[in-house]
Structure 1
Amino acid sequence: MAAANMMKLKRPNMFWTSCATHTLNLMIQGIGCLPKFKRVIDKAKSFTIFIYAHHKTLALMRKYMKKRDIVRPEITRFATSFLTLQSLNDKRKDLRIMVFSDEWEQCKHSKSTKGKMAYATMMSAHFWERVSLCLKVFEPLFKVLRLVDGGRKSSMGFLYGKLQKARNEIKETLKNNEANYRQILQIIDEKARDRLDGPLHLAAYFLNPYYFFKDQSIQHDPLVMDAMFTCVENFLPDNYEVQNQSYSNCVLYASLVSWWSTYGNRVPNLQRIAIKILSLTTSSSGCERNWSTFEGIHTKKRNRLDTTMLNNLVYVQSNAKIMTKKEKENGKKMDILLASEASMAQ
């Protein structure tokens, strides 16, 4: 962000935004650091670490889980706490049967201090109630995270609206009690400030028919309209006549529901701005995955690869991963990125 502020002086007509994936992940981590959530996450971590630390407990877990794992941290990149809690909650019944079994009792590790703590955690009704609460709070943000990180559609037009919806869902989960949700919303607002509420995000929210025609009060929000006018000025610098026309078009669009469908083809400048903004992505994760592929190919033992060969190898690997992902999605007939399918997301 500091670098972006410096570059704004040299490129005043460019917008600089942060990666939404990382920002949302920071939100989830920040909420997870609150005492009432941290205690639950720490207990879940302690249990999983204990299970995976001993081959006997690991074999016992896989027997009762039918060879399924609780976590797969080497695959999951973001929101690991949420996915771990979701996985534990999905397997709650089998885990409780496991720690109550004779095999667990006969295992020498179960008699240790950590083993007794693991047993107490799984049998605690209060722990599972807190796990359920954590999931209800994290899930709305996790859905936004998967939207921006999924790469299935341009997310700029939905990011701000989905984030506002997540805030409202968290309020409802906590029964609209301000004392319960105040700290959570403070973390969300702090992390989103200047990162997920910039002119591009607000203008995309305004131009997206999904939100505008559902709630036309958007046009009365001064922050949204100021953001839209800022985008017009930056997209059409030094052209004040066209800027004034675009301002008028924005006001008309905000005033009449049927205006766009009737006169939309007569405002090419506003059309171009809308297309440019609504077609933007909000995450750099795709680029980062590409960099990871480069790092995997260009190792110390392969440091003599020329640029053409390196690019070709990355091209093949990246496309192979995309094809594999598409095959999995088509085969299972489901969106593996949905929060309700946490195991598939892992």
Structure 2
Amino acid sequence: MGIFDIKKYLRSPNKGRGKCRKCSKSCQWSKERVQMHIRNCEKSSDDEKLMFPTKLQTTLKTNSSIENPQHLTPELPSCSTNTLKEAIANFIFKSGVSFRVVELDCFKEMFFVLNPALVEAIPSRKELSTDLLDAEYDKVQRKIHNVLTNSTNLTLISDGWTNVTGDHIVNFCIKAPGMSTLFYKSIDTSGTGQTGEEVATQISNVIEELGPENFVSVVTDNASNMRAAWNLIEFNYPHIACNGCSAHVVNLLISDILRLETFANTTKDAQKVIKFVRNHAFVKAKYEEIRKELNVSKKLSMPVPTRWYSHYTSIKNLIDSKYVLMKLVDMHKYQLKEVMPKEASKEVIKLIERNSFWDKLCKLATILEYPSNIIGKLEKDNTSLNAVYDYFGKLYTHFEQDKTIQRLVKYRWDYILTESMGAAYMLTPKFSVDGVYVDHDKIDIVGHIKKIVAVVDPIKASDVDGEFAMYVNMISNLPADKQQMIYQMDAKPYWKVFGKNEFPALYICANRVFDMVASSAASERVWSAFGFIHSNSRNRLITTRVEKLTSIYVNNAILKQLDAINSLFSDEFLYENDFE
């Protein structure tokens, strides 16, 4: 072919890139990338494209000369080319891989091996990012809209995030009763100040899209601007309750504990030991040898910034490695002392040999264990609001012997507690009589229940006091076996089966609060999907395209499961599978 002249195809080289002389698109200043661009450039002639054939095209040409190549007979399957393109597009969208994978020779060769005719059905990168993506996104959005418009007692969950290109994005997820949380939409708020008024407007716009009457609650994080937005939302929509993320507040409680002088130094010392092992190749290698020899499964890990509950895992893993570290010091003490900086190394060695260090670690791990385990439970989609009050009540009694930590628990409890949380707790049969109530909470909660009912049905609000007295009396005087049965029931089924007819005024409140969500963890999980799709290697994706890909990626499994349930209970299925 002769010498390849890049300048013949690209102009204006700058920092390793140039612009195509035909379409003016940017391209990397390398032979392989330029040839790939020419093959895919819309303005390149057929002759120019043939000048640089792919390995696959070369293979096709070679195979075409074989006499009677029966195994390479190019016959399309029975489905249409459009169907094949949609199937390939769905694989790309739902696996999170880059669009440019369809341009790779190895990708095309894979289809060629299956059937040479399938190569023609591979969509271009442009088709993937435009028509096919739009079509799949529209299909997902129609399904989501159909599900949500036919549901009531919806909870709107929202959270903010800064993406890889520095744009501030806000997502909106919606939880319908009995379903996993759906990712509804996201908006770019980079040019907008996130004041309480602006946040309230953003949330209100979503509420209006699906109908205010279909919502019962909004959940966000606990920032001051969010709390200001709550006041505006509850003023404009009195029937909608706003709650903060309870898992986040427990996380903040752990940070409060770790900042206490008693534990702050212990935490710092623990991290010194962990860093000493992880940051020095010789120490790490010897540590790993001894860890495997002693059959210790857990490795040392540093806590994640702002994820304060990860301190428990970090400290627990350090405690599990105690004898590994002690043996490491016994066997290699001289070499360890020579690790630079020497003063820091000697300090770490002394910590490992000091029994008081390990005693403090064990004490701290014991304190952090319970609140750290609570966070995982509160982050589940199906965790009811009654769990928030219950867990904080248990935390309060758990630290009864440590008044300093108990005061921190009370402070965070007061910070997160809302009327709907208290109502959910008291309307749970097992907590109505035997629950943990602090100060005048019990009296206040009855007033909150009355207030919630009054918003929905003012006439029945007057019946709340009488029904509540009967409700508590009934639970208190049940025979032991029946009381045990009701205590074991979740609160929502109890009110659907028993309470609805016996206490209709209380049921109005119960029907709402038990469909509310305890945390905004679902929105944070969406950011994980955003980060997976809009990664450093795909930072040129525009935000609208990222939103569409994320919607398909996050919602696909949920909607597929819903389709399976709908199909199971469809008339056709029941008819075809009827018993003879």
| TM-score of the pair, normalised by structure 2 | 0.48
Q: How many residues align?
A: 307
- Structure 1 unaligned regions, length at least 5: 321-346
2:277 to 51, 63, 66: 51
Deviates more, 1:125-134 or 1:60-69: 60-69
Runs of 4+ with deviation above 6 angstroms: 259-263, 317-320
Give the corresponding residue for 1:185: 406
Alignment of 1:224 onto 2:446 = no
Native 8 Å contact 1:216 1:254 kept in 2: no
Aligned amino acid, residue 190 of structure 1: Y
Cα distance in structure 2, aligned partners of 1:106 and 1:135: 31
Give the corresponding residue for 2:124: none
Cα distance in structure 1, aligned partners of 2:452 and 2:405: 34
Alignment of 1:166 onto 2:395 = yes
1:52 offset after TM fit, Å?
A: 1.4
1:24 offset after TM fit, Å?
A: 0.7
Alignment of 1:203 onto 2:442 = no
Give the 5 Å matches for 1:94-243. Answer: 94-102=324-332, 104-107=333-336, 108-109=338-339, 112-149=342-379, 151=380, 153-171=382-400, 176=401, 181-195=402-416, 197-213=417-433, 215=434, 222-237=440-455, 239-243=457-461
Aligned amino acid, residue 235 of structure 2: L
In the TM superposition, what whole-angstrom CA distance separates every residue of 1:139-183 from its partner, at most 9, and x where no partner exists? Answer: 22223222202x174241222122121222222xxxx3xxxx232
Give the corresponding residue for 1:271: 507
Percent identity between the aligned chains? 19
Cα distance in structure 2, aligned partners of 1:45 and 1:297: 32
Cα distance in structure 2, aligned partners of 1:7 and 1:297: 32
Name the SS of the counterpart of 1:160 in structure 2. helix
Give the corresponding residue for 2:552: 312
Alignment of 1:40 onto 2:248 = no
Cα distance in structure 2, aligned partners of 1:217 and 1:131: 30
Cα distance in structure 1, aligned partners of 2:435 and 2:372: 27
Cα distance in structure 2, aligned partners of 1:237 and 1:317: 37
Cα distance in structure 1, aligned partners of 2:516 and 2:471: 21
Native 8 Å contact 1:30 1:187 kept in 2: yes
Name the SS of the counterpart of 1:16 in structure 2. strand
Aligned amino acid, residue 130 of structure 1: K
1:4 offset after TM fit, Å?
A: 2.1
Structure having the larger proportion of residues in helix: 1
Native 8 Å contact 2:274 2:302 kept in 1: no
Give the corresponding residue for 1:338: none
Cα distance in structure 1, aligned partners of 2:456 and 2:521: 35
Cα distance in structure 1, aligned partners of 2:342 and 2:559: 49
In the TM superposition, what whole-angstrom CA distance separates every residue of 1:64-111 from its partner, at most 9, and x where no partner exists? Answer: 222742116569944122221111112222222222223x53344188
Alignment of 1:301 onto 2:540 = yes
1:305 offset after TM fit, Å?
A: 2.9
Native 8 Å contact 1:4 1:16 kept in 2: yes
Cα distance in structure 2, aligned partners of 1:170 and 1:238: 39
- Structure 2 unaligned regions, length at least 5: 1-226, 479-485, 487-493, 561-580
Give the corresponding residue for 2:314: 84
1:315 offset after TM fit, Å?
A: 3.3
Name the SS of the counterpart of 2:242 in structure 1. coil
Cα distance in structure 2, aligned partners of 1:216 and 1:306: 46
1:48 offset after TM fit, Å?
A: 1.0
2:471 to 228, 253, 265: 253
Alignment of 1:286 onto 2:522 = yes
| TM-score of the pair, normalised by structure 1 | 0.77
Cα distance in structure 2, aligned partners of 1:87 and 1:224: 41
Native 8 Å contact 1:25 1:79 kept in 2: yes
Cα distance in structure 1, aligned partners of 2:259 and 2:351: 19
Name the SS of the counterpart of 2:462 in structure 1. helix
In the TM superposition, what whole-angstrom CA distance separates every residue of 1:274-294 from its partner, at most 9, and x where no partner exists? Answer: 243234321111211112312
1:13 offset after TM fit, Å?
A: 3.6
Aligned amino acid, residue 101 of structure 1: M
Name the SS of the counterpart of 1:17 in structure 2. strand
Note the aligned Cα RMSD (angstroms).
Answer: 3.2
Native 8 Å contact 1:40 1:127 kept in 2: yes
1:127 offset after TM fit, Å?
A: 1.0
Native 8 Å contact 1:144 1:163 kept in 2: no
Deviates more, 1:284-293 or 1:302-311: 302-311
Cα distance in structure 2, aligned partners of 1:156 and 1:33: 28
| Structure with more relative contact order (C-alpha pairs < 8 Å, separation 6 or more) | 1
Change (3 A) 1:305 1:5: closer
Cα distance in structure 1, aligned partners of 2:530 and 2:436: 47
Native 8 Å contact 1:198 1:227 kept in 2: no
Change (3 A) 1:275 1:221: farther
Change (3 A) 1:121 1:164: same
Alignment of 1:18 onto 2:244 = yes
In the TM superposition, what whole-angstrom CA distance separates every residue of 1:257-316 from its partner, at most 9, and x where no partner exists? Answer: 257989733334422422432343211112111123123313423227375444213335
Native 8 Å contact 1:208 1:278 kept in 2: no
Structure having the larger proportion of residues in strand: 2
